[in-house]
Structure 1
Amino acid sequence: MANDTRFYRYLALCSHVALLIWVCLWHFLLSPDTGYSALFVFLMYVVPLLLPLKGVIQGKPYTHAWANFVVLYYLLHGCTIAYAVPAERVYAAIEILLCCGMFAGCSVFARKRGQELGHGLKKLKVVMEEERQRFEGNKR
């Protein structure tokens, strides 16, 4: 693995773990009682981050790619809280920063590692040429 690829892998991993810890701290210790049960908070805020954790720890590029969909949920949450709840803006800002780190790390790592492993997508003109040859080969 190249050094820059390794850097983005660790950025994604560290941001993911830090976001998981931050979400737990924020919603279970720092935030005032919201009236939601601990089980509900766990299911809504902690479980989604646990889903891609194994693949991110193992350094799987595909998991890093789809983990971005999970992190967007937290980015939206942080932006909403930053706008709507002035008392928790600092907490939301930390969440937003961790989300940005995870998103950047996951995106770049998935791309670079996928290229290193030869899992890149073919260019459209190559795909179109293959289709044309296959179609014309079946007509004859």
Structure 2
Amino acid sequence: MTTKLARLLALIGYFGLLIWVILWHGVISPHPQLSVTFMLVIWLPWLLIPVKGMLSGNPYTHAWAVYMLMPYFLHGGVLVWSDEGERWLAVVELILATTMFIGNMYYAKLRGRELGLSIRKKKKA
């Protein structure tokens, strides 16, 4: 995998997930008991935290941004398992989160190597 492809995957997954969260909770299937605003306040801010680093191509941001994907993996996985009505919505969420995860990990690794930021092996004494 090349650095450009990894970055493309990371950005597709990132912006896809950002747009998908808005579409899902705001338009396609709003929660019946909770307001759209509340749902977006719960799901959206976490994705906005790394926007500057993702756009600038900072490998460090790409590396730590994968930790913020856990709620989306968990949410998607639980709904795929338990909710037939929103299963396809959850599958899209899982695909986008996985795309971002793979893209971010490879981009951080490859770009970090290009910049000489890789972790060195410990020397034997």
Do both proteins adopt the same fold according to a TM-score greater than 0.5, normalized to the shorter chain? yes
Tell me which of 104, 109, 112 is aligned to 1:111. 109
Q: State the distance in 2 between where 1:71 and 1:84 align.
A: 20
Gaps of 5+ in 2: none
Instruction: Output aligned runs, 1:120-131, within 5 Å.
Output: 120-124=118-122, 126=123, 129=125
Q: Name the structure 1 match of 2:70.
A: 72
Higher relative contact order (CA 8 A, sep 6+): 2
Runs of 4+ residues over 3 Å off in structure 1: none
Q: Name the structure 2 match of 1:22.
A: 20
Give secondary structure in 2 for the equivalent of 1:13: helix
TM-score in terms of structure 2 length: 0.93
TM-score in terms of structure 1 length: 0.83
Give the aligned residue type for 1:29.
Answer: V
Q: State the distance in 2 between where 1:93 and 1:119 align.
A: 35
Instruction: Output aligned runs, 1:1-140, within 5 Å.
Output: 4-124=2-122, 126=123, 129=125
User: Paired residues, what number?
Assistant: 125
CA RMSD across the alignment: 1.5
Q: State the distance in 2 between where 1:32 and 1:114 align.
A: 40
Q: State the distance in 2 between where 1:117 and 1:57 align.
A: 17
- Among all aligned residue pairs of Structure 1 and Structure 2, give the percentage whose two residues are the same amino acid: 39
**C-alpha deviation, 1:34, in angstroms:** 2.9
Give secondary structure in 2 for the equivalent of 1:34: coil
